[in-house]
């Protein structure tokens, strides 16, 4: 695949997607979004890929949507009375939906700014490892915009409604340590250790039982929307898949033989 605005690499069962518009602090465009969707689809369909890292080139993770003077809506929407709605619905919203349905583990390695839609992108991942110099927040209202990329749904789920309102309405951006305290970041590491830490986490996940990991991830996200009875029924149904996998035999044998298991995803 020939990408213009991302770099996509696969190594040791880990796929890495690097947003590659450093001159724009990796502000997303339609091209970038569609390239990310293509890379994620490839990672989803490749059974050799068991975990994904998303990061940014240069000084930023993602500064949100491109609002520079030379930015224009795609030609097919331009001049339409609903151009902003169509552009959002058919582009970044598709990325949010794809990531929220993606059943392999995804780690955001947050370098520099992750603001507005960039923060939304990070929160769509399962884990956020932030460099000490990273800054996270919502700057939408500085431009008289709103958190229209999905942040209004995601921010309160990570921070609580009061903190989310404060961040968005006051256009607050937090240092990594404060963002961790507020629930936006999983781990903070020195800048020089960001990628190596993200890769270490990804490789640990990639060495686990892939079928059980994927089902566990989906089960946890689904069950946040369920009552207990439905959650228990969902878990019982899941055992019809996991309990009959060859990996269960391998995990049990490795435990008794005091060795590291070699899970095949079968």
Instruction: Tell me, yes or no, whether 177 and 221 share the same domain.
Output: no
Task: Give a yes or no: residue 263 inside a domain.
Answer: no
pLDDT in tens, 87-131: 777 788 999 999 999 999 999 999 999 999 999 999 999 999 999
In terms of Cα–Cα distance, which of 61, 48, 171 is closest to 119?
A: 61
**Residue range 238-246: average pLDDT?**
87
Instruction: Tell me, yes or no, whether 38 and 106 share the same domain.
Output: yes
Structural contact between residues 110 and 177, judged by C-beta atoms closer than 8 angstroms: no
Looking up residue 146, the CATH number of its domain turns out to be: 3.90.226.10
Q: What are residue 165's phi and psi, to 5 degrees? A: -60, -45
How far is the C-alpha of 81 from the C-alpha of 266, rounded, in Å? 51
Cβ-in-10-Å burial (0-12, 13-18, 19+) of 186 comes to middle
pLDDT at 252: 85
State the average pLDDT for the chain: 91
Task: Give a yes or no: residue 111 inside a domain.
Answer: yes
Instruction: Tell me, yes or no, whether 169 and 154 share the same domain.
Output: yes
Structural contact between residues 27 and 66, judged by C-beta atoms closer than 8 angstroms: yes
Q: 68-106 burial, b for 16+ CB within 10 Å, e for fewer? A: eeeeebeeebeeeeeeeeebbeebbbebbebbeebbbbb
In terms of Cα–Cα distance, which of 190, 205, 195 is closest to 51?
A: 205
pLDDT in tens, 67-99: 775 555 555 666 666 767 777 777 889 999 999
**Residue range 207-212: average pLDDT?**
92
Query: Which tokens belong to 37?
Result: 């969707």
Answer yes or no: is pLDDT of 138 > 70: yes
Task: Give a yes or no: residue 266 inside a domain.
Answer: no
Range of the domain at 223: 210-257
DSSP symbols for 23-38: GGTT-B-HHHHHHHHH
- For 206, residues 6+ apart whose C-beta sits below 8 A from its C-beta are 12, 13, 14, 50, 51
Instruction: Tell me, yes or no, whether 146 and 58 share the same domain.
Output: yes
Instruction: Tell me, yes or no, whether 156 and 169 share the same domain.
Output: yes
Q: What are residue 76's phi and psi, to 5 degrees? A: -70, -20
Residues above pLDDT 70, as percent of the chain: 94
pLDDT in tens, 21-72: 999 999 999 899 999 999 999 999 999 999 999 999 999 999 998 877 555 5
User: Of 206, 228, 247, which closes a domain?
Assistant: 206
Instruction: Tell me, yes or no, whether 55 and 170 share the same domain.
Output: yes
Instruction: Tell me, yes or no, whether 97 and 225 share the same domain.
Output: no
Number of compact structural domains in the chain? 2
Task: Give a yes or no: residue 262 inside a domain.
Answer: no
Instruction: Tell me, yes or no, whether 29 and 118 share the same domain.
Output: yes
Answer yes or no: is pLDDT of 183 > 90: yes
Instruction: Tell me, yes or no, whether 237 and 249 share the same domain.
Output: yes
In terms of Cα–Cα distance, which of 94, 83, 103 is closest to 33?
A: 94
Instruction: Tell me, yes or no, whether 162 and 221 share the same domain.
Output: no
- Host H or E run for residue 206: helix 194-206
Instruction: Tell me, yes or no, whether 178 and 215 share the same domain.
Output: no
Instruction: Tell me, yes or no, whether 193 and 225 share the same domain.
Output: no
């Amino acid at each position: 695949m020939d990408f213009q605005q991302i770099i996509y690499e696969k190594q040791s069962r880990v796929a890495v997607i690097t947003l590659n518009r450093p001159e724009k602090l990796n502000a997303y465009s339609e091209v970038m979004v569609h390239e990310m969707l293509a890379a994620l689809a490839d990672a989803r369909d490749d059974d050799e890929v068991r975990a994904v890292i998303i990061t940014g080139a240069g000084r930023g993770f993602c500064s949100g949507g491109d609002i520079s003077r030379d930015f224009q809506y795609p030609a097919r929407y331009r001049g339409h009375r609903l151009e902003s709605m169509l552009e959002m619905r058919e582009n970044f919203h598709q990325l949010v939906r794809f990531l929220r349905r993606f059943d392999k583990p995804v780690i955001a390695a947050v370098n520099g700014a992750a603001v507005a839609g960039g923060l939304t992108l990070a929160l769509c991942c399962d884990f956020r490892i932030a460099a000490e110099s990273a800054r996270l927040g919502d700057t939408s209202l500085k431009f008289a915009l709103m958190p229209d990329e999905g942040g209004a749904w995601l921010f309160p789920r990570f921070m609580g409604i009061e903190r989310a309102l404060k961040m968005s309405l006051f256009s607050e951006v937090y240092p990594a340590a404060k963002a961790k305290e507020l629930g936006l970041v999983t781990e903070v590491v020195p800048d020089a250790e960001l990628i190596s830490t993200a890769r270490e986490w990804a490789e640990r996940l990639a060495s686990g039982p892939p079928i059980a990991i994927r089902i566990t991830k989906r089960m946890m996200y689904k069950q946040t929307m369920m009552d207990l009875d439905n959650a228990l029924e969902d878990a019982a149904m899941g055992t019809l898949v996991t309990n009959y996998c060859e990996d269960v035999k391998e995990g049990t044998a490795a435990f008794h033989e005091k060795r590291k298991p070699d899970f095949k995803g079968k």
